[in-house]
Chains A and B, each alone.
Chain A
């Protein structure tokens, strides 16, 4: 620990910390452009210059570590002059674009110029020009005149995404940013450079000119596109989403988003969104009132309860629905409709949680931060770069730190570049695990990630294998962590909430598992689809008497339905998602759904009450309260404990999580 003074304030901090970080920790802002805590040091913008007593020249506070008895001044006359100088120099070639630049209003260059810059320009000559704007990709627009060559974008691509697609070409005033690939900026993390860019050089083509920062309403939420559950800010203008930004969560996304998550929101404000319920009259779907649709749906369900066996009614719910909606869905289907034929996937999937099913006990539950600490990472099948992109970044960082990566049971994937070993095919799982354990015998922190197409027997085998090595590892202060890579936003939640024919919420056995399969049952007569598309439904439609669909768009599946309810999307509902590490995170309602679209739980409550039930849920919070009573894994979950950073569903008080 060292003690030093910054602006007459005494501070004690760890040795090796930079002055800029030390100042930030006591609330002193030092303006900077090229410095970023997650990227390597550049020291090139010269904006963060500070004065150190005893040193003749000013030094960059972002590159200088603190030392004992250092006396730093961040607001002395010398420093103020330097700040003014650097801004004056930056502005000579910077175009007068503020009125048409998307960064205006949230631009560090603007803000620092107001605070620290010169009052007027003394440059009366011609500015240097570039052709602009340049489309680096369909998503990213580059304005080379605005670029101040801080190289944050270049360093991000080199170090974090490890897809070095941006470089600086030419030198001096004529230098500019260029892509290395002819196809353009193809990295699937390219959108992060937009948030990193301190000026309006790199901007989003989708967001271009759509809104101004002061006219935006910002709501925290969770990305619905994959099982990582990256935290996002939803920015809304006039009830339409205009962009998504990263909301840093050290444990999940570490402040980054993949392009699918960042740019995949236009569907929410598509003009094709369903606004009214529809009902089939004379073999054609026509808009109708809410009450009409409810009573028709209730009628259908009633008919089937009385006429056919309960086996012939089935329901499928999308794993993109929130936990609350999924819970109500399974409650509706089981209690009101009286069937157990429900699922959240058309194909077989793996569940590793149910007690007594797989012998994982003793193994550690997977947290994303395990990737940061593991010595050995084993990926079995699956491709994080496509299924869980943010894990791709974490794994790359882990390998850079020294972890050894094994990729088994899959063809070439992006992460193979970082793999210590790529084992395409292997004899058996015991063989594979033994090989890995032998090769890495001296290591003691292991992470094994399974893919959901595996069979439970395979998982049992792997667990049995790992357990023979487990005690040795634990004695060396290590652990073996086991996780399941689930690609959808709330597959884990769907499993936990019992939207499966095998288990009730909390994995209580229904007792009927062995009789049922996955997906749409063969003999179904009445099918309820909650935001699910069934590709082969057209061929089976004649055998199905009635189809009720809850969907945001009139897609091919919904077109064959008897009753269609308009759905709210993820940004239009409060609720929670459970990600692949069983972290429960809150979504907040950012916009009102169009027309009469509603959340699924509201719809099902209406139908249930029309059928005589007495449900009185006022909000998704009420539903979560019930969940925490019914589902053993979620017993500690309340909206308060989740807060804005999420909390583990299966957590113990001290935060350690083991399978049992």
Chain B
């Protein structure tokens, strides 16, 4: 009986002095891997035009039905994307989203991508409808 007691205490003692694996978030942060799937972004081409062509394939692929796309026609005076079509409205309901990445897979032009930002908490439920303005990346200088 004493041996078992001492063995058990020994295990406890070992753990007492060994390095814990707890990450003290938010002071410490974990390494972010390149293929992680968090907050979405709508990408642009190098020339500044939006990649998104408003095709709604992401909307169709999304298993949580949390994407809403309203497409519109580009004109030469008001051009947002290359080609005929762009997304006038683009919304993702981040509460519904399960971050599966199907939208990213479905996108034919690599417009919608899931990036690393995961600290998305907020107070108002309405603020979780991310509109195109919040999702679109700024053009490079």
Residues of A near B53 (CB, < 8 A) are 99-100
The residue on A at minimum CB distance from B109 is A99
Residues of A near B57 (CB, < 8 A) are 99
- Nearest-neighbour CB distance to chain A for B4, whole angstroms, equals 64
B71 touches A209 (CB 8 A): yes
Residues of A near B101 (CB, < 8 A) are none
The number of chain B residues with a CB under 8 A from chain A is 15
* B108 interfacial contact with A, CB 8 Å: yes
A212 touches B59 (CB 8 A): yes
* A138 interfacial contact with B, CB 8 Å: no
Say whether, besides A99-B109, A100-B84, A133-B84, A214 and B71 are in contact (CB < 8 Å): no
A209 touches B109 (CB 8 A): no
B60 touches A214 (CB 8 A): yes
A-facing mask of B37-55, CB < 8 A → 1, else 0? 0000000000000000111
A100 touches B60 (CB 8 A): no
- Nearest-neighbour CB distance to chain A for B122, whole angstroms, equals 25
Q: Which among B54, B59, B71 has the highest number of chain A CB atoms within 10 Å? A: B71
- Nearest-neighbour CB distance to chain B for A201, whole angstroms, equals 14
A208 touches B59 (CB 8 A): no
Residues of B near A100 (CB, < 8 A) are 53-55, 83-85
A99 touches B55 (CB 8 A): yes
Residues of B near A209 (CB, < 8 A) are 54, 71-73, 85
B-facing mask of A111-137, CB < 8 A → 1, else 0? 000000000000000000000010000
* B104 interfacial contact with A, CB 8 Å: no
A133 to B71, CA, bound (A): 17
The residue on B at minimum CB distance from A205 is B73
- Nearest-neighbour CB distance to chain A for B107, whole angstroms, equals 9
A215 touches B54 (CB 8 A): no
Residues of A near B85 (CB, < 8 A) are 99-100, 209
Which residues of chain A (193-225) have a CB below 8 Å from chain B? 208-210, 212, 214-215
Which residues of chain A (73-108) have a CB below 8 Å from chain B? 98-100, 104-105
A99 to B52, CA, bound (A): 10
A104 to B71, CA, bound (A): 14
A100 to B69, CA, bound (A): 13
A99 to B83, CA, bound (A): 11
A99 to B57, CA, bound (A): 7
A99 touches B84 (CB 8 A): no
Residues of A near B108 (CB, < 8 A) are 98-99
The number of chain A residues with a CB under 8 A from chain B is 12
Residues of B near A212 (CB, < 8 A) are 56, 59-60
Residues of B near A214 (CB, < 8 A) are 60
The residue on B at minimum CB distance from A143 is B84
A-facing mask of B79-113, CB < 8 A → 1, else 0? 00001110000000000000000000000110000
The residue on B at minimum CB distance from A99 is B55
Residues of A near B59 (CB, < 8 A) are 212, 215
Residues of B near A210 (CB, < 8 A) are 71
A133 to B55, CA, bound (A): 17
Residues of A near B73 (CB, < 8 A) are 208-209
Residues of B near A133 (CB, < 8 A) are 84
The residue on A at minimum CB distance from B55 is A99
- Nearest-neighbour CB distance to chain B for A312, whole angstroms, equals 52
Residues of A near B56 (CB, < 8 A) are 212, 215
Residues of B near A104 (CB, < 8 A) are 55
A7 to B100, CA, bound (A): 43
- Nearest-neighbour CB distance to chain A for B1, whole angstroms, equals 69
Q: Which among B56, B59, B83 has the highest number of chain A CB atoms within 10 Å? A: B56
- Nearest-neighbour CB distance to chain A for B28, whole angstroms, equals 43
A208 to B72, CA, bound (A): 8
A100 to B85, CA, bound (A): 6
Residues of B near A99 (CB, < 8 A) are 53, 55, 57, 85, 108-109
A-facing mask of B53-76, CB < 8 A → 1, else 0? 111110110000000000111000
B-facing mask of A401-412, CB < 8 A → 1, else 0? 000000000000
A214 to B55, CA, bound (A): 12
A208 to B71, CA, bound (A): 9
- Nearest-neighbour CB distance to chain A for B70, whole angstroms, equals 8
- Nearest-neighbour CB distance to chain A for B87, whole angstroms, equals 10
Which residues of chain B (108-133) have a CB below 8 Å from chain A? 108-109
Q: Which among A98, A133, A212 has the highest number of chain B CB atoms within 10 Å? A: A212
Residues of A near B72 (CB, < 8 A) are 209
A105 to B71, CA, bound (A): 15
- Nearest-neighbour CB distance to chain B for A420, whole angstroms, equals 48
A214 to B84, CA, bound (A): 21
The residue on A at minimum CB distance from B65 is A215
A214 to B53, CA, bound (A): 18
A543 to B53, CA, bound (A): 59
Residues of B near A98 (CB, < 8 A) are 55, 108
The residue on A at minimum CB distance from B108 is A99
The residue on A at minimum CB distance from B72 is A209
Residues of A near B109 (CB, < 8 A) are 99
The residue on B at minimum CB distance from A105 is B60
A208 to B83, CA, bound (A): 14
- Nearest-neighbour CB distance to chain B for A205, whole angstroms, equals 10
Which residues of chain A (592-627) have a CB below 8 Å from chain B? none
A422 to B57, CA, bound (A): 56
A98 to B85, CA, bound (A): 12
- Nearest-neighbour CB distance to chain B for A16, whole angstroms, equals 43
Question: Shortest 5 CB-CB distances between A and B: which pairs?
Answer: A99-B55, A209-B71, A100-B85, A212-B56, A99-B108
Q: List 22 A-B contacts (CB under 8 A).
A: A98-B55, A98-B108, A99-B53, A99-B85, A100-B53, A100-B54, A100-B55, A100-B83, A100-B85, A104-B55, A133-B84, A208-B73, A209-B71, A209-B72, A209-B73, A209-B85, A212-B56, A212-B59, A214-B60, A215-B56, A215-B59, A215-B60
Chain B interface (Cβ within 8 Å of chain A)? Answer: 53-57, 59-60, 71-73, 83-85, 108-109
Known pairs A133-B84, A209-B71. 9 more at Cβ < 8 A? A98-B55, A98-B108, A99-B57, A99-B109, A100-B53, A100-B54, A100-B83, A212-B59, A215-B56
